[in-house]
Structure 1
Amino acid sequence: MQIKELTGERAWRTYTGGKLLDILHKKENSSDSHYPEEWMFSTTIARNSGREDIVEGLSYLKNENKLFVDFIKENPKVLGEKHIQKWGVNLGVLVKLIDSEERLTIQVHPNNQKAKELFNSKFGKTESWHILDTREEKSYIYLGFKEGISKEKFKEYFIEQDLNAMLNCLNKIEVKKGETYLVKGGVPHAIGAGCLILEVQEPTDYTIRVEKTTPSGFVIDDKMCHQGLGFERMFECFDFIDYSEKEIRNNFQMKETEISFEDGRKVNEIITYKDTSCFSLMRLMINNKIKIEKNETYTCLYVISGIGKIEDDLQEIKLEKNVQIFIPANKEFNILGEKLNILLIKGPNVK
């Protein structure tokens, strides 16, 4: 089976952004809008109240009139035998580019246990944020409850819709380009204004929102807040565990670890299966030619910068900024390039 280049799909969201995505795709008259996300390697349909008849968020094979999800269904072996045995014919991961003009609303996603209990889904929505860039000199994320915040007090602020008080319940963390944060299901969070992020997550769109109005004034439908659970039951998705800022950085900010191989390859591990069983994330820095041996499960590549090509015994594909490559299981390939900075994404652990 051939290596496939994919194209991402923009998805409507309640918040605004996306100008940097327009620039990335060299669009004329780039602007912010309610399409601030590009969903990549996506077999997941976006959940938007009032837009149920619109299918959005699904990736395509580049230059082929075929959805990536249909390609997977027709060729399940590309996922790898062990992956199929454990996860079925489901990619098990979703990757997004997120460009936030405004702060996202405070939200939480279910962990696997709550996803099964409340949504009858084997996938929750643990996610990670790799900071690609920022619009502002200082940009922030909001992550985890501060010390001393109780469930009763937070629910009181929600009922009153005291947005400032709710936001003040979370740790405000300054972020810089190149940093990565792991956000496990159950942990409340909000991406701040001016962040360009590559998000790797479980393949669902279950988002519980506690703000009924976005910072720019967009009124959010009740169902978009509680996802059909109702306002009382949605609080079951929150883990009411408090953290200091130091604990947030120690527990959720990932440290890149360089691993060198005898053939000269260097791989930076960012998120491993020791951190979460949901996915893994690595960085490849390539200035010549490297050979990647067969792997028992599929691989997703996203090019951050540099130029080069990926080749196997059947074809070669040009690599440059924003190229998205899906590599089937048990596929041997070479990457050649100069100053290539590539993120390598794997789906859920099969062991």
Structure 2
Amino acid sequence: MTLYRLPANTPRSFYRGDGRIDTFRGTRPADDPYYPEDWIASTTSRFGAAPTGLTTLPDGRSLAAAIAGDPLWWLGERHVAEHGADPAILVKLLDTGERLPLHVHPDRRFATAHLASPYGKTEAWMIVSAEPGAVVHLGFARDVEPDELAGWVTDQRIDRMLGATNRVPVRAGDAVLCPAGLPHAIGAGVLMVEVQEPTDFSVLLEWEGFAVDGRVAGHLGLGYDLALACVDRSGWGAERLAELRRARHQAADARPGVRRLFAELADEFFAAERLRPDPVSVLEPAYSVVVITSGDGSVEWEHGAPVPVGAGDTLLVPYAAGWCTLRGDVTAVRCKPA
């Protein structure tokens, strides 16, 4: 029985990073900038490119196979009763060396109807670092008609599309929820921890200037007439946007050194916590991914010796590790299934 410190798992992408993941993790930078994501504890493959994206454990087993072989040990009885041997989340590090294209992820209803999946792709971002002036584009600022959106996409009228979105400044420490269906683009200069539903479903609204042919690969094989039906075209004003960034009220029985992130809207999809030992952070038994964002410390667990951790480490914690305690001058983000 063990905790797993995971190496980087970086499938190639169509947008550029800027070396922030290597700096964060203390690894040697790659010559190729098109590795801007680290898929942590992934049992999810790239859309149409399996097995790319899957995590291999340090002992050589694939994580998916290891969980399938002993789901109760990894996930716990309650989780298995609801989800089977599916961890039901995907966690990433993401480094934007350039602004990502405007895109959207389908929700569960659309994915069930058209993609044979019980999961859509609601996601959430915990900003580790951000250059001055960094922004995300989040939702349309006004209602957009179907023909208007289709024309923007067909003709790649990028200035008009981006001009219709909300520009939201972000800085280190921010936590932002992005519901499925909401058009969004992450600006350049950001390193984040992203937690999401376990799919790789993206519909590209923009592709010019990126290393991808959106007319061929941007619509999940559905064609744009159907794919654009998953887009939330409603206007998102300040009040709705504020709900996506609202700080969570802490429960009276909150565990020491643990602060729950994201509004209740996220609860059916995943959970995330910010860990700041005070003097410890107490973690209940749960399958989870812990990303150490700063400092040095150790994780104590019920069944073995403490595991030293430092900034840039990504730790996979099985349910069977039992109660854990994070100690030290350290901060971390913990992601776990709903």
1:311 correspondence with 2:300:
yes
**Uncovered stretches (5+) of structure 1, i.e. residues with no partner:** none
Q: For 1:174, which of 159, 169, 181 is the aligned residue?
A: 169
Distance of 2:29 and 2:289 partners within structure 1: 31
* Aligned residue number for residue 314 of structure 2: 324
Distance of 2:326 and 2:291 partners within structure 1: 15
**CA 1:230/1:345 → structure 2, altered by over 3 Å: closer, same or farther?**
same
Which has the higher mean CA deviation after the structures are superposed, 297-306 or 226-235?
Answer: 297-306
* Aligned residue number for residue 76 of structure 1: 71
* Aligned residue number for residue 9 of structure 2: 9
Q: How many residues align?
A: 336
**CA 1:271/1:29 → structure 2, altered by over 3 Å: closer, same or farther?**
closer
**CA 1:273/1:124 → structure 2, altered by over 3 Å: closer, same or farther?**
same
1:159 correspondence with 2:154:
yes
**CA 1:206/1:292 → structure 2, altered by over 3 Å: closer, same or farther?**
closer
TM-fit CA distance, 1:103: 0.8
TM-score (norm 2): 0.91
**Uncovered stretches (5+) of structure 2, i.e. residues with no partner:** none
Once the two structures are superposed, the pairs formed by residues 141-220 of structure 1 within 5 Å of their partners are 141-214=136-209, 217-220=210-213
Distance of 1:138 and 1:31 partners within structure 2: 27
TM-fit CA distance, 1:184: 0.7
* Aligned residue number for residue 300 of structure 1: 289
TM-score (norm 1): 0.88
Q: For 2:57, which of 50, 53, 61 is the aligned residue?
A: 61
| 3-state SS, counterpart of residue 111 of structure 2 | helix
What per-residue deviation string (whole Å, max 9, x for no partner) do you get for residues 8-39 of structure 1? 30021111114111222334456661111011
* Aligned residue number for residue 107 of structure 1: 103
Whether the 8 Å contact between 1:298 and 1:329 is mirrored in structure 2 is yes
1:342 correspondence with 2:332:
yes
1:252 correspondence with 2:252:
no
Distance of 1:224 and 1:129 partners within structure 2: 25
RMSD (Å), alpha carbons: 2.2
TM-fit CA distance, 1:3: 2.7
Query: What percentage of aligned pairs have identical amino acids?
Result: 27
| 3-state SS, counterpart of residue 60 of structure 1 | coil
* Residue identity matched to 1:240: R
**CA 1:18/1:94 → structure 2, altered by over 3 Å: closer, same or farther?**
farther
Once the two structures are superposed, the pairs formed by residues 282-301 of structure 1 within 5 Å of their partners are 282-286=273-277, 288-289=279-280, 291-293=282-284, 295=285, 297-301=286-290
Distance of 1:8 and 1:59 partners within structure 2: 9
